[in-house]
Amino acid sequence: MRQWRPAPFPVIAALAWLAGCGGSTMQSDPRGNLLLRDANNYKTTATLAVPVVETASATDLDICWSAVVSDLQCHPVSATADLDTVALLRISHLSKEQVQVRLAAGTLSQSDVAGYLDFKTDHTNTCMKLSQLTLFGSQTDVPSQYVESTDYTYLLLFTKGTTPGVGARTMLFLQPTAASTNTKVDGQTGCGLLTFMADLSSLTKLSVPVAGPWILDWRDITRDGQGNEAPFEKIDGVTIGFYAGMTAADLEAHIFDIETMATGLWDITLTGGRTVDLATATDRTSGAPFPGFDRTDSGTWLLGLTCSRCQSPAPILLTIVEPQR
């Protein structure tokens, strides 16, 4: 019998693009004129409250997701169009409470995951059987191994995309018990499961010259917004955003809508290194070159270092930019 086994797995917690603010300092250095340090970075706290569904043990459950109408950021979800993968994680020797804490902090490690199985949706049907889960396409007798145990915690994910552990829209803990006769699992809406807060007041703003140059260097940062060690090798993007007529308090009040609220967003795709010229950024929608920081309308500028392959999609660093004439 093929058994579950650990698989390479970037762990999830589906958060959002976020913001920060604070004091201001002008920075210069031979490496570049825009030096990012930990003082420039926002700080975040996150908690998860994942529902628990008790089910029968060693049974071929029906798993459905038609009720998933919103994600963890409270954005609308189409159960047929937006959900690509249903995944089941078997996590070793951690309680549900411990799993929630590690997921929210982005610290659940590959060594914690004793098994990973998934099912690719067909974007038409919204139900499947537990036995349809596979180990990267290889069949396994899942029901016989899905049993009541004090050694394992089972986490069911409904995700956008097909990369293991990335893009979760909502999640459930499954708890097989010998006493339960429940053979159906209905996915639940993600809105309300995640509480996320960003410190928008204590960071040091990054001063930039309106006329340029804008050579950004981040080799001095050591931590991400959650206080974890900065994963330099995984940083793969820079985003600049402008929010006309908005303050840091406005952004904090609508923290999950930070991308949709932007007046303009400009991106740079990185392939390595720890420095980049912001003049190479392009408009996310039109592809037009970044026009610079000289605007007549008031508002707030944000700059983020992003990581599409990290445990959390929240920016590694996010700061408020303060243009200087």
pLDDT tens digits, 147-205: 999 999 999 999 999 888 778 999 999 999 999 999 999 999 999 999 999 988 889 99
Residues 176 and 280 in one domain: no
At which of 192, 207, 227 does a domain end?
192
Q: Is residue 316 in some structural domain?
A: yes
Q: Is residue 165 in some structural domain?
A: yes
At which of 144, 177, 192 does a domain end?
192
Cα separation, 210 vs 13, in Å, equals 36
Residues 181 and 54 in one domain: yes
Containing domain of residue 234, as a range?
22-45+197-324
Long-range residue pairs from 287-291, CB within 8 A, at least 24 positions apart, any chain: 290/240, 290/266
Contact yes or no for 128/86 (Cβ under 8 A): yes
Residues 264 and 243 in one domain: yes
pLDDT surpasses 60 at 139: yes
C-alpha gyration radius of the chain = 22
At which of 145, 174, 192 does a domain end?
192
Instruction: Give, as one character, the DSSP assignment of residue 8.
Output: -
Total domains in the chain come to: 2
Residues 260 and 180 in one domain: no
Among 149, 148, 86, smallest CA distance to 116 is for 86
Q: Is residue 102 in some structural domain?
A: yes
Q: Is residue 12 in some structural domain?
A: no
Residues 188 and 54 in one domain: yes
Would you give the end-to-end CA distance of the chain in angstroms?
A: 69
Binning pLDDT at 50, 70 and 90, where does residue 122 land? Answer: very high
Residues 187 and 219 in one domain: no
Three-state secondary structure of 207-241: EEECCCCCEEECCCCCECCCCCECCHHHCCEEEEE
Q: Is residue 99 in some structural domain?
A: yes
The total number of residues written for the chain in this structure:
325
Residues 105 and 235 in one domain: no
**CATH number, domain with residue 176:** 2.60.40
Q: Is residue 290 in some structural domain?
A: yes
pLDDT surpasses 50 at 4: no
Residues 188 and 58 in one domain: yes
| pTM, full prediction | 0.82
Q: Which residues contact 212 (CB under 8 A, 6 or more apart)?
A: 279, 292
Facing residues of 305 across strands?
Answer: 238, 317
DSSP string, 12-25: ----------EEEE
